[in-house]
Amino acid sequence: MINPSLVRQAGVLPYRVVDGTVECMLITSRTSRRWIVPKGHIEPGLTPRETARFEAYEEAGLSGVIGRRSIGSYVYTKRDDKGGDICRVRVYPMEVVHEADDFPESKQRDRAWYAPEEAEQAVDQEELGRLIRNFAEKQAAHHSQAQKTPAS
């Protein structure tokens, strides 16, 4: 059962396919500098998907094609100095089309592309790592199948 006291957030797993290989982007948190995905509180009047798109640009300068369906969620606890809230983050995949050099939090965060296995190891949240691995495996299988199918 879902705990109703969880703070609801939405985020994106930014990805691209380079030479048939899936890569995922991670960003650093502003204070602890841990590797995370862009995410934030779901604002009144916005859907989780709209929130995810907004956070991708604000925190990482990314725009692209966001999936209609979430790839899953993970739970984490904010540090005590940030209120100690328990948050559930609904994650949407986003195929990155553009990376801006200048974006609202560009001076506060780093961003980097990772192979999925490296991204899984770089994040602290085990559930997020599993989401990354599962998504990348499905993308790789889909991409591989698409290459085998002859064009009509």
Q: Of 72, 78, 73, 86, whose CA–CA distance to 5 is shortest?
A: 86
pLDDT of residue 149: 54
Query: Cβ contacts of residue 113 below 8 Å, gap of 6+?
Result: 16, 23, 24, 25
pLDDT, position 141: 78
Residue 59 pLDDT > 70 = yes
Domain ranges in the chain are: 13-148
- Residue with token string 């969880």: 6
Residue that has been written with the tokens 């599962």 in this structure: 134
**pLDDT higher at 115 or 140:** 115
CATH code: domain 13-148 is: 3.90.79.10
Burial class (CB in 10 A: 0-12, 13-18, 19+), 28: middle
Helices and strands of the chain, counted as H and E runs: 3, 8
pTM: 0.88
